[in-house]
Amino acid sequence: MHLESKEIINRPLEEVYQLVRDDLAKLVPYMPNVSKIEVKKHAPKDTNTIEVINHWYARADIPAMLTKFIKPELFSWKDFALWHNDKHCVEYQLESFLANDLFDAKGLNSFTAVGTDKTELKISCDIKLYPEKVPGVPKLLARTILPGIEAILEKVLGPNLTSLGKGLNEYFKNK
């Protein structure tokens, strides 16, 4: 699955870039499917790059038939990011808390100045899901419930990645 979105943020490039890189947790109230973001690491790697590790905790509606098998950790992930300040972009890889082989997700977000007071945020992420690797799913039920698990994973990961631009605009509107 490939996710891509573009959004124009009504603020200058440096302001938007620094907020997302350094204070992402401030955007949680403006991202409907995210309950919290915890910063685990924020450190310069060299003079031009910053390594950031965030833990994301998503909200998800789980169908009643799947609640026995699905743990909340399924909808939380580690975000390993390398911010390139000279290019105003971030390369990232996501990993599930539940199992590091539950999905492969890698992406690139870029921030581009549009005039002097606007920023274009482009999000691009490729995700490959492995719902058959969800721990705790009985093998006899696996074929029956795996499509539901896959649909929920797509429903949670997709909007959380693509809602960042809308969340930024809401944040700045209310600031």
Min mean pLDDT across 57-61, 77-81, 140-144 is at: 140-144
Query: According to the model, what pLDDT value does residue 150 have?
Result: 64
Query: According to the model, what pLDDT value does residue 91 have?
Result: 98
Q: pLDDT for 100-146, tens place per residue?
A: 777 788 999 999 999 999 999 999 988 877 766 767 666 666 567 66
With 90 as the cut, is the pLDDT of residue 161 above it? no
Tell me how many domains the chain contains.
Answer: 1
With 70 as the cut, is the pLDDT of residue 171 above it? yes
CATH assignment at residue 152? 3.30.530.20
**Cα dihedral 41/44/50/51 (nearest 10):** -40
Q: pLDDT for 6-37, tens place per residue?
A: 999 999 999 999 999 999 999 999 988 888 99
Query: According to the model, what pLDDT value does residue 149 have?
Result: 65
With 70 as the cut, is the pLDDT of residue 77 above it? yes
Amino acid at the residue 152? I
Question: What is the residue range of 148's domain?
Answer: 2-174
Phi, psi of 64 (to 5 degrees): -55, -40
- Report the chain's C-alpha Rg in angstroms: 17
Query: According to the model, what pLDDT value does residue 75 have?
Result: 73
